[in-house]
Structure 1
Amino acid sequence: MAHKTPITELAQEWLRLDQNPDTRQEIQTLLDNNNTTELEARLRNRIEFGTAGLRASMEAGFSRMNDLTVIQATQGLCLYVLEHVKDAKERGVVIGHDHRHHSNDFARLTAGVFLSKGVKVYAYKDLVHTPMVPFGVKVLNAACGIMITASHNPKKDNGYKVYWENACQIIPPHDDGIAQMILDNLEPWVWDYKSFENPALVDPTEELVPQYFEQVGQLCTAKEANAASETKFVYTAMHGVGYPFAKMVFERFGFKPLIPTKEQVLPDPEFPTVAFPNPEEGKGALALAFKAADEAGASVVFANDPDADRFTIAEKQSSGEWILFTGNQIGTMFACSALENWRSSGKSDAKVAMLCSTVSSSMLAKIAKVEGIHWEDTLTGFKWIGNRAIDLEKEGYNVIFGYEEAIGFMLGDIVRDKDGVSALGCFAQLAARLYKEGIKISEYLDTQYKKYGYFASANSYFICHEQETIDRIFNKMRFSGSPQADETGQFAFKPLYPTHIGTHKIANVRDLTLGYDTSKPGGVPTLPVSASAQMITFYLENGCVFTLRTSGTESKIKYYLEVTSTTLEEAESQAKEIEAAMCAQLLEPEANGLQYRVSA
């Protein structure tokens, strides 16, 4: 049995390495009070570096986001980039940060590590929205990029998102390689809070922000009509960095100014008006925006998440009710609009492709089939969508749109990542045209349903902090209780998946954790497999598809369910019925102590 280091030794190692007096004091106080439970939680395991980079609460400890773990991660990343990217020192790195507590310090410390190794550093000294980092990597031909942000997570969290030299988020094997390099270089080389004052550091803001909006402006196809539009748009930045960029994209597209939700428009790391700063969480997060819209006589609300890479829409109906569109619904409307714009551009003879994540709606596949364009799905996360888009471009395709149901949208090739600012401009243009024609956004969506079929989703999540419980739940799905061993003691290759969900028969199962797909020859799936994340998709005989998976950045079991039918009412009814059966049968929330999502 491996020797387990005493927690007091781990605490002393922390105190030896940490140079931040505040986080040193946190551990020292826990040590003085003999709070071994909290010390174990903070120090026993290291924060994991994965394809999402880092994300955790901001506290002292090896498992948290703090100055030390950021420096250690950067040292590993720096050495890995120098080893694997040609001319990395000269090409440099791009660093950006949001407004969260400690984001500025984390960005400075990150820059200091790269500067100490003679690597050129481009750092946005002021706040930027996340897409400016991959945009910077692309334009400057940098070796990598780092964005300090926790996106839409609660205020206690922060994160460290890494982009590779192709301006996409990292994918395997780079994540494992960087993680190992971090472990090999834990002793801090430098602790530099003053790196932004270093004359070797370059702030690319004045060069790159105008270039970014010049390229985003090329997505505008009706500037004169936009300028003449009388449609009023209310906007919330969700206490994040988005408002200056939202204002600029509206100017670039020719619109009259946005109407801001004043309580939420300025950056505030305390997020005082929302428990969860995520516009996807529900109408509660947008209550103040609805109020501002009612007061302004506006029927459309736009929202970005705090780092402005996500985007969502709500519309007031004639009944006075506000409809918050889902990511799948917005994705459908963007896809149809992008296809219309492409065909009107005179380039319709070129090879066109669209992408979405595998947990997004099947409606994009249906649109692609009907319209005769190429479509593919990828694993969840824009790291997969962006990298696949680049691969398809090399094959001669024009990838005009990509999306994931978690309100992330990629329009054109400005960045191969989700971008809530370019999405804002493009959807405002569509909405203005519809309103001029006397068509509501909801009516436009219904037109697409009538053309391609009605698709109803039931997507949500349960909170679960115990990995043992999560593993037990997924093992029960696979093995009807516990893994079945063969005569050698190894797990049987063919799991015992359930045959029915409620009264509905299961036709196929795809398990991207084990690497098994009952619909494929030899049971081998076509999508990449990852044993480190739970993900199972069930295909029912009635056409319903649902996926259950764990989150890479939050303590959640997420599910995505979709049904298609000839009427919206029938699709929604079936979705609710199967959702209830799935939760009761596979997740057993009460027996497993799962907490259902709490609306913002």
Structure 2
Amino acid sequence: MSWQETLKKWTSFAALDEALLKQLNEVVKDEKEVEDAFYKNLTFGTGGMRGVLGPGTNRMNIYTVRKAVEGLSLYIKENVQHCEERGVAIAYDSRYMSQEFAIEAARVLGSHGIKAYVFESLRPTPLLSFAVRYLHAAAGIMITASHNPPEYNGFKVYNEDGGQVPLKEAAAIIEKVDLVADELSVNVAEQKDLEANGLLTWVGEKVDKAYLQALKGLQKQENASDDLTIVFTPLHGTSHDLVLAGLNQVGFTNVHVVREQANPDPEFRTVESPNPEEHQAFTMAIEQGQAINADILIGTDPDADRLGVAVIDANGAYQVLTGNQLGTLMLDYTLSHLSEEERKNGKLIKTIVTTEMGRTVAKSYGVDTIDTLTGFKFIGEKIKEFESTEEHYLFGFEESYGFLIGDFVRDKDAVQAAIVACEMANYWKKQGKTLLQALDGLYEQHGYYLEGMKSLTLKGKDGAEQIATIMEDIRANPFTELGGLKVLAVEDYDTSNRTLLVEDKNEIIELPKENVMKFILEEDAWVCFRPSGTEPKIKSYFGVKTTEETKSKDLLQAIQSQVEERINQIIA
């Protein structure tokens, strides 16, 4: 069916939701916009289904959500034992339509006789992962678009282990979703009937308490110190209550919340982007921190799976740590507080675009590292595999501010990370050091690792074609040198092939196939290219290592400039 035919199907649907009909009448006035809304269906990427709110098959709305849940229902009925009574856990964040989508999901599940456990108010994504495991549910649904702009929402699917569905499961679910011929005619039950029949159960406080109890197991210090002054911002999202409760039970009471950003707000009015990766998101926290001389600033993204941290530097200004820096610090802190026996057969899990410093630090403690593709679902998948081996999980992180310490959650968890980051800052303060000074010590010990990332946004159908062209050109004409360093190996994850240029031989990459290219350079430097699975972006990742900060900065800049020039030539 062409996009014009799909559009006609929607405009002629007599029972179309009134709000969507009103929006559709505006959208059809712009041919390019209406084509983008209907030329394809939203698909699952590294984090699930995510898109702009509005009418159309390529948009997030009650009909695309119903279609996705219909496919999920068909999948779990065939593949998960006792799924009807075990049910599906559903949570949602502070975005527009989040609660409505959660209820629509429950209505579709209910039409199949599958029970839904729906949180009575917004909750963090990691709590949904925990809830699936705690409730022994057959699956989980999280309605969120993470840190995307306000016009977005999304839909993440979790399996019965509490992890985001891995590639094979996702493909099977997508196959079921594709069997749903008409998203407009998916059966839904009435909410009041589901509540009366016990097919919709509202949950909350009991799960929260169980999660907070699990958090206690991460504590490495007997008593936290009121001497540590903390500024916390949930960036208008879901983490406020759980982070404060978690800090309090560890013993941190000198916590100051950025009040202007404490309440949920789908517009995220006080920030350009509700993303702790973006340093502007810390503007208000920095102002408050300066006023009270805070030791540490912590900020979570709206669905509380990413954590950012800022601390005072040598000049008295607050510096936001990168995800690689924070992850390396927490890894070192975690491993240093484990005995040799506890570390035995333990593993660090990181993604292929995450700092190599993590591998070096882990090795210094006798811990091996496992690399995965980008996306925390692959880390969750490895944790599950450890249940049938002698290996066990110690720590996992990715460069984009995603961290997981305790495996009672199977996705990145900013609540966990916030508690551990503050405990770590308290530990180093007692040693007379800030986190930056602790990081300098790691650089002196292991080398000056520095990373960067450039993100190019190319929206719409034309943008998707440009992103494809960039990847095709890089494959057809691979780099042979960057920043004056020779390329030693080329890794094409789409073909699972690693070409070792010096040895003139090929190896198989033992990871799932994905549209990613990585170049391994001399002197432990590397560059990686990856189209985003959830946003209209192509991302370029960079890593270097030298013996000095200035040398690393200069080398990183040289490599980034050369890559940027090449990409500009491709799309010119």
Please state which band the TM-score falls in when normalised by the shorter chain: over 0.9
Q: Distance between the aligned counterparts of 2:243 and 2:364, measured in 1? A: 34
Residue by residue, what CA displacement relative to the aligned partner does 1:507-563 show, whole Å, maximum 9, x if unpaired? Answer: 110011233210396442222213xxx310001123211111110111111111111
Residue by residue, what CA displacement relative to the aligned partner does 1:103-160 show, whole Å, maximum 9, x if unpaired? Answer: 0100000011111211121111111111111111111211100000111111100000
Structure 2 residue 378 is matched with structure 1 residue 384:
yes
Q: Distance between the aligned counterparts of 2:138 and 2:173, measured in 1? A: 14
Which residue is equivalent to 2:422?
A: 428
**1:436 Cα deviation from its structure 2 partner:** 2.2
Q: Distance between the aligned counterparts of 1:336 and 1:38, measured in 2? A: 49
Q: Distance between the aligned counterparts of 2:26 and 2:192, measured in 1? A: 28
Which residue is equivalent to 1:487?
A: none
**1:180 Cα deviation from its structure 2 partner:** 2.0
TM-score (norm: length of structure 1): 0.90
Structure 2 residue 391 is matched with structure 1 residue 397:
yes
Give secondary structure in 2 for the equivalent of 1:302.
Answer: strand
Alignment of 1:428-577 (within 5 A): 428-465=422-459, 466-480=463-477, 497-519=478-500, 522-530=506-514, 534-577=515-558
Contact residue 345 and residue 367 of structure 2 kept, 8 A: yes
Q: Distance between the aligned counterparts of 1:168 and 1:469, measured in 2? A: 32
Structure 1 residues not aligned, in runs of 5+: 481-496, 594-600
Structure 2 residue 172 is matched with structure 1 residue 174:
no
Q: Distance between the aligned counterparts of 1:15 and 1:305, measured in 2? A: 40
Alignment of 1:101-116 (within 5 A): 101-116=96-111
Alignment of 1:232-247 (within 5 A): 232-247=229-244
Q: Distance between the aligned counterparts of 1:441 and 1:5, measured in 2? A: 56
Q: Give the residue type in structure 1 aligned to 2:220.
A: T
Give secondary structure in 2 for the equivalent of 1:235.
Answer: strand
Aligned-CA RMSD value: 1.9
Structure 2 residue 350 is matched with structure 1 residue 353:
no
Which residue is equivalent to 1:266?
A: 263
Structure 2 residue 208 is matched with structure 1 residue 209:
yes
Residue by residue, what CA displacement relative to the aligned partner does 1:354-377 show, whole Å, maximum 9, x if unpaired? Answer: 110110000111122222112111
Query: How many residues are aligned here?
Result: 562
Which residue is equivalent to 1:485?
A: none
Q: Distance between the aligned counterparts of 2:508 and 2:306, measured in 1? A: 33
**1:20 Cα deviation from its structure 2 partner:** 1.5
Q: Distance between the aligned counterparts of 2:176 and 2:31, measured in 1? A: 29
Structure 2 residue 285 is matched with structure 1 residue 289:
yes
Contact residue 51 and residue 175 of structure 1 kept, 8 A: no
Give secondary structure in 1 for the equivalent of 2:122.
Answer: coil
Contact residue 97 and residue 128 of structure 1 kept, 8 A: yes
Contact residue 233 and residue 299 of structure 2 kept, 8 A: yes
Give secondary structure in 2 for the equivalent of 1:203.
Answer: strand
Q: Distance between the aligned counterparts of 1:6 and 1:388, measured in 2? A: 40
Identity %: 31
* Match 2:564 to one of 570, 583, 586: 583
**1:15 Cα deviation from its structure 2 partner:** 4.3
Give secondary structure in 1 for the equivalent of 2:245.
Answer: helix
Change (3 A) 1:82 1:8: closer
Structure 2 residues not aligned, in runs of 5+: none
Structure 2 residue 362 is matched with structure 1 residue 368:
yes
Give secondary structure in 2 for the equivalent of 1:94.
Answer: strand
Give secondary structure in 1 for the equivalent of 2:490.
Answer: strand
Which residue is equivalent to 1:597?
A: none
Contact residue 251 and residue 257 of structure 1 kept, 8 A: no
Q: Give the residue type in structure 2 aligned to 1:248.
A: A
**1:427 Cα deviation from its structure 2 partner:** 1.1
Which residue is equivalent to 2:409?
A: 415
* Match 1:188 to one of 186, 190, 206: 186
Q: Give the residue type in structure 1 aligned to 2:274.
A: P
**1:288 Cα deviation from its structure 2 partner:** 0.7
**1:48 Cα deviation from its structure 2 partner:** 1.3
Contact residue 110 and residue 188 of structure 2 kept, 8 A: no
Contact residue 109 and residue 191 of structure 1 kept, 8 A: no
Residue by residue, what CA displacement relative to the aligned partner does 1:283-337 show, whole Å, maximum 9, x if unpaired? Answer: x111111011112221311010111111111012242222110000011101111
Contact residue 237 and residue 306 of structure 1 kept, 8 A: yes
Q: Give the residue type in structure 2 aligned to 1:220.
A: Q
Give secondary structure in 1 for the equivalent of 2:342.
Answer: coil
Give secondary structure in 2 for the equivalent of 1:73.
Answer: helix
Give secondary structure in 1 for the equivalent of 2:338.
Answer: helix
Change (3 A) 1:353 1:132: same
Residue by residue, what CA displacement relative to the aligned partner does 1:407-447 show, whole Å, maximum 9, x if unpaired? Answer: 00000212121000011111111111211221111000111
Which residue is equivalent to 1:24?
A: 21
Q: Distance between the aligned counterparts of 1:103 and 1:403, measured in 2? A: 27
**1:194 Cα deviation from its structure 2 partner:** 5.2
Change (3 A) 1:46 1:193: farther
Alignment of 1:252-263 (within 5 A): 252-263=249-260
**1:203 Cα deviation from its structure 2 partner:** 2.3
**1:166 Cα deviation from its structure 2 partner:** 1.4
Give secondary structure in 1 for the equivalent of 2:35.
Answer: helix
Give secondary structure in 1 for the equivalent of 2:167.
Answer: coil
Q: Distance between the aligned counterparts of 2:192 and 2:55, measured in 1? A: 22
Q: Distance between the aligned counterparts of 1:370 and 1:295, measured in 2? A: 39
Q: Distance between the aligned counterparts of 2:27 and 2:550, measured in 1? A: 56
Alignment of 1:300-319 (within 5 A): 300-319=296-315
Contact residue 109 and residue 192 of structure 1 kept, 8 A: no
Q: Give the residue type in structure 2 aligned to 1:250.
A: L
Q: Distance between the aligned counterparts of 1:579 and 1:297, measured in 2? A: 36
Q: Distance between the aligned counterparts of 1:357 and 1:195, measured in 2? A: 45
Residues 357-366 or 19-28, more deviating: 19-28
Give secondary structure in 1 for the equivalent of 2:439.
Answer: helix
Change (3 A) 1:103 1:578: same
Which residue is equivalent to 2:53?
A: 58
Change (3 A) 1:472 1:285: same
Residue by residue, what CA displacement relative to the aligned partner does 1:73-126 show, whole Å, maximum 9, x if unpaired? Answer: 111111111111111112111000111110010000001111121112111111
Change (3 A) 1:8 1:389: closer
Give secondary structure in 1 for the equivalent of 2:156.
Answer: strand
**1:183 Cα deviation from its structure 2 partner:** 2.2
Q: Distance between the aligned counterparts of 1:18 and 1:342, measured in 2? A: 60
Q: Distance between the aligned counterparts of 1:50 and 1:565, measured in 2? A: 35
Give secondary structure in 1 for the equivalent of 2:523.
Answer: coil
**1:393 Cα deviation from its structure 2 partner:** 3.8
